Structure 1
Amino acid sequence: MDSKQSEGSERSMHEMVRSIFSVRMVVAFAMGFACGLPLLLTISLLQAWMSDAGVDLGTIGLFALVGLPYTLKFLWAPIFDRFTLKLFGRRRGWLLLAQLLLMVAIATLGMVNPVEQPWLLAFVALLVTFFSASQDIVVDAYRREDLRDEELGLGSSLYVNGYRIGMLLAGSGGLILADHVSFQTVYLIMAATMLIAVVTTLLAREPVEAEGTPKTLREAVIDPFVDYFQRPEALWILAFILFYKVGDTMASAMTMPFYLEIGFSKTEVGAVAKLFGFWATIIGGLVGGVMILRLGIFRSLWLFGFLQAISTAGFSVLALMGNSLSGLAAVIAFENFSGGMGTAAYVAFMASMTNKRFTATQYALLSSLMGIPRVIASAPTGYLAEGVGWFSFFIVCTLIAIPGLWILRRFSPERNGLMVEARAL
C-alpha cells in the first residue's frame, strides 16, 4: 500500500511539474502580457501626455469614459461564440484580428494631436479600448478551453502575472521612455510590442471546439444566459464574485491616503511598494497557482480568502504602530502576496463556472462583475475612514471578508457537487 501511495505521489508530482513547464502555461503568460499592455495606454500614459501637452483637467477627466468597453464587453462577446474566422480557427482567428487592429489603433493614437484634435483622440482611444476588451474576451475563452480543469489555477496565475508585467511596461516603462523620446514614438514602440501577442497567437494551438456551440446569433445571445441561470446556485455564484474580494478592494482604495497621513513620504511609499509590493504580488500569484494544482480551486479559495482577510487586518496593526518603515514593508509584502494568490484562485473559479459552449459570453459576464466592487464599494470608503478612524476602518474591511467566505460554503464539492458539475461542462 505504501509503495502504491509513493508511486501515486511521484506520478502526481511529475504531472504537476509537466503542467508548470508546459507550452500551455507559456501561452497563458504571453496572452496575459498582451492583455495588460494596452490598459494603461489609455489611462495613465495618455493622461501624462495630455497634461504635458497642456490639455485642461476637465477634458482629461472625461477621458476616463473611454474605458467603458472593458465593463460592457459582455454585450458583443456572443459574436465570438457564434462566428468563426475559418483561416485560424474559432478562437485564434478572432484573436489575431483583434490584435492586428489593436496594433493599428495604438500606433494611430500616437499620431493624434491632443490639443488640436481632442475629439479624434477620444475616438481613437475608444477604438484602442474596444479592441483591447475584445482581445480580453477571446483570451479568457481561449484559456478556459485550452487548459485542463486542474490547470486553470496555475494558468490563471500566469495570465494575471503576465497582465501585470504588461501594465508595468506600458505604465512605468512608457513614462520613462517619454522622458527621452516623444509620446508619438512611445506609442509606436508599444504598438510594435504587440507583435509578441501576434506571434504567440500564430504559434499557439487552436483549442478543441466543444459540442453544441451556437449555430445562430440568437443561440449565442440567449442560450448562455439560459444555461447559466438554470443552475441552482447561479445567483450565489454572482454574489460570491461580488463579495469575495470586496474587503480587500475597499482597503486598497484608501491605502495611499493612509500611508501619507501616518507620516510616510511619497518616496518611501513608492520605493517600498515597488521593491516589495510588485514582486510580492508576482510571487504570490505563482505560489497560488502551484497550490491550486495541489489543493484544487475550492480549498484554495478558502485558504487564500482567509489570508487576504488577515493581510487587511495588518493595516490596522500598522495604524497602531505608526511611522515604521519595516512595518510598512511587512504589510505591503503580505497584502500583495496574499492578494496575488487570491486573484489567481478567483480568476480560476470564474473560468471553471463557464460552459465551454459559451465561454466567451459567460466569462465576459462574470469578469464584468469583478469591476463592480471596485467602483461601488470603494466610493464611500473615504467617508467611512473619516468617520471611524484608520484602525476601525481596516477592521471593518477585514470583517467584510466574512460574507464571501460564508457564500463559498455553498460551493463545497462534498455539499452539492457544483465544481464537479461545472468541470464536466
Structure 2
Amino acid sequence: MISKLVLLATLYVSQFIPTTFFFQALPVFLRQQNMSLDTIGFLGLLVIPSGLKFLWSPFIDRYHLGKLGHYRGWIICFQLLLISTLLISAFLEYQENLTLLLICVFLSCLFSASQDIGTDALAVNLLEPQERGLGNAIQSGGNVLGAVIGGGIMLILLEKVGWRYSLVAMSIFLLLNLIPILLYQEQVTSKSKNLNFFQSYFQPFVSFLSRPKIIPWLLVLLLYMTGESVTSVLIRPLLVDRGLSLTDIGWILGVVSYSVRIVSALIAGVMVMRWGRKQSLIVFGIVAAVATLLYILPAMGIASFSVLYTVCIVVNATQSMAYTAILSAMMDKSDRTTAATDYTIQVSVIFLGGIAATILAGILAQRAGYASTFIVSAVVSLLSVFFITKVYE
C-alpha cells in the first residue's frame, strides 16, 4: 500500500506544479499591468485541454507505447514533453512575447492534462475499493503539494531569481520526479482488438453514459466545485488590488493555504472511509460553499494579514475536503477496463464547469464586484449539493 501511495503522490505532484505556477503568476502579472478582470477571467480558456481530454482518453485506454508499459508509457512520454515545454518557456522574454508564452502555457496544460489521464487510470487499477479513501486523499494532497511548490515556492523563487532560473529549477525537479515511475513495473492487461477503430473509440462513451442516473451525476460534477473555480482565479487579482506583493501572495495562497489543503485532504480521506461517499459529499460540499463567503471580507476592504491568512486557510481547507470526497465518488463510478475514459469524462466535466465559471466570474466581477461574484459561486455550489441528495447512490 505504501509503495502505491508514494508512486501516486509523485505523479500527482509533478503534473500540478507547472500549471499552478503559470496560473498563480499570470493573473498577478496581468493585474500589475492593469489588465481588466474580465480579460483575466479568460485565462480559464488555457486549461481547456483539461476539459476536453476525454476526447483522446480512449486512445490511452486502448494503445500502449512499446515496452514502456500501458499507462506507465503514456505518463513518461507526456511528462518529458511537459519538461521540454518548460525549458522553452524559460528562455522566453515573457513581457515581450506574451502570445508565445500563452502558447507554451496552453501546451503545458495539454501535456499535463494528458498525463493526468494515464495517472488516473493507473490509480483506478492500483487501488482496491477499500484503499480509495486514503488513495484519493493522496491524490488530492499530491495535487495540492504540487500547487504549494508551483504556486507558492516557485512564485517566491520567481521574485528572487527571475523567470529563467525558476523554470529551469522546476524542470529539473520534474525530471527527478520521473524516477519512481521509471522504477515501477506495470502489470499490462491486454485489450481486446476485436472491435474496429470507431467501435472501440465510441463504445466506452456509450457504456459510461448509459449507466443509471449518470447524466444527473455529471450535472453535479459540473457545479460542485464552482466555488473553488471562481475563488482560485479571483482571489489573486483581489490581493493585488489590496496592495500585496508577489511574495506575500506566494506565502498566503501558495505555501500556507495549500499546505493546509494537504492536511485537510488526509483528514477528509479518513472521514470518507468512515462516513461513506454520499454523506461526505453533502457535508463537505455545504461547508466549502459557505466558507467561500468569507472572501467577501477582503472584497469589502477588511484585508489585514491576520484576516487574509485566516480566511484563505479556512476556505482552502474546506475546499480540499470537498475535492477529496468528489474524487472518491468519481473513482467508484469508473470501470477498471476503461479507467482512463470513465474517470477522465468526469474530470473533464469538472474542468469544463470551472472554465465556464471563471470566464463568467471575471465578467461578473468586473461589473458587479468581487463580493457579488463570491455569493453567486457559493449559491451554485450549494445547488449541486441539493442534486446529490436526489441522484447519488
Alpha-carbon distance between aligned partners in 1 of 2:311 and 2:96, rounded to the nearest angstrom = 46
Q: Percent identity?
A: 26
Cα offset, 1:148, TM superposition: 1.3
- Which segments of 5 or more consecutive residues in structure 2 lack a partner in the other structure? none
Cα offset, 1:115, TM superposition: 7.6
User: 1:365: which partner in 2?
Assistant: 345
User: 1:243: which partner in 2?
Assistant: 223
What secondary structure does 1:202 align onto? Answer: helix
User: Which of 310, 316, 323 does residue 336 from structure 1 map onto?
Assistant: 316
User: Which of 93, 103, 107 does residue 73 from structure 2 map onto?
Assistant: 93
Kindly report which structure 2 residues correspond to 1:392-411, keeping only aligned pairs within 5 A, or say none. Answer: 396-411=376-391
User: 2:178: which partner in 1?
Assistant: 198
Alpha-carbon distance between aligned partners in 2 of 1:325 and 1:122, rounded to the nearest angstrom = 32
For 1:226, the aligned partner's letter is V
User: 2:336: which partner in 1?
Assistant: 356
* 2:259 is the alignment partner of 1:279: yes
Alpha-carbon distance between aligned partners in 2 of 1:405 and 1:274, rounded to the nearest angstrom = 28
Alpha-carbon distance between aligned partners in 2 of 1:46 and 1:298, rounded to the nearest angstrom = 37
Alpha-carbon distance between aligned partners in 1 of 2:388 and 2:30, rounded to the nearest angstrom = 44
Which one is further off, 335-344 or 302-311?
302-311
Alpha-carbon distance between aligned partners in 2 of 1:47 and 1:401, rounded to the nearest angstrom = 24
What secondary structure does 2:70 align onto? Answer: coil
Cα offset, 1:162, TM superposition: 1.9
* Contact 2:153–2:255 under 8 Å retained in 1: no
Which one is further off, 323-332 or 313-322?
313-322
Find the structure with the greater CA-based Rg: 1
Q: CA distance change for structure 1 residues 242 and 195 in 2, over 3 Å: closer, same or farther? A: same
Alpha-carbon distance between aligned partners in 2 of 1:46 and 1:396, rounded to the nearest angstrom = 25
Q: CA distance change for structure 1 residues 49 and 217 in 2, over 3 Å: closer, same or farther? A: farther
Cα offset, 1:135, TM superposition: 0.9
For 1:91, the aligned partner's letter is Y
Alpha-carbon distance between aligned partners in 2 of 1:272 and 1:361, rounded to the nearest angstrom = 36
* Contact 2:335–2:342 under 8 Å retained in 1: yes
For 1:199, the aligned partner's letter is I
Cα offset, 1:110, TM superposition: 2.8
Alpha-carbon distance between aligned partners in 2 of 1:387 and 1:314, rounded to the nearest angstrom = 20
For 2:131, the aligned partner's letter is E
User: 1:78: which partner in 2?
Assistant: 58
Q: CA distance change for structure 1 residues 246 and 335 in 2, over 3 Å: closer, same or farther? A: same
Which one is further off, 220-229 or 316-325?
316-325
* Contact 1:152–1:348 under 8 Å retained in 2: yes
Q: CA RMSD in A?
A: 4.2
Render the CA deviation track for 1:10-45: whole Å, top value 9, x for unaligned.
xxxxxxxxx5xx221111211111111221455555
- Which segments of 5 or more consecutive residues in structure 1 lack a partner in the other structure? 1-18, 414-425
* Contact 2:69–2:188 under 8 Å retained in 1: no
Kindly report which structure 2 residues correspond to 1:5-404, keeping only aligned pairs within 5 A, or say none. Answer: 22-40=2-20, 42-43=22-23, 67-112=47-92, 125-179=105-159, 181=161, 183-206=163-186, 209=189, 216-250=196-230, 254-255=234-235, 266=244, 270=249, 272-273=252-253, 276-315=256-295, 322=302, 327-381=307-361, 396-404=376-384
Corresponding residue pairs, total: 388
Q: TM-score under structure 2 normalisation?
A: 0.80
* Contact 1:253–1:378 under 8 Å retained in 2: yes
Render the CA deviation track for 1:220-276: whole Å, top value 9, x for unaligned.
420111101211212111111012222454455555677788xx6536974654675
Structure of greater relative contact order (alpha carbons < 8 Å, 6+ residues apart): 2
Alpha-carbon distance between aligned partners in 2 of 1:49 and 1:255, rounded to the nearest angstrom = 14
* Contact 1:244–1:404 under 8 Å retained in 2: yes
Which one is further off, 39-48 or 65-74?
39-48
Alpha-carbon distance between aligned partners in 2 of 1:122 and 1:316, rounded to the nearest angstrom = 31
* Contact 2:145–2:258 under 8 Å retained in 1: no
Q: TM-score under structure 1 normalisation?
A: 0.75
Alpha-carbon distance between aligned partners in 2 of 1:72 and 1:322, rounded to the nearest angstrom = 39
Alpha-carbon distance between aligned partners in 1 of 2:49 and 2:146, rounded to the nearest angstrom = 19
For 1:147, the aligned partner's letter is L
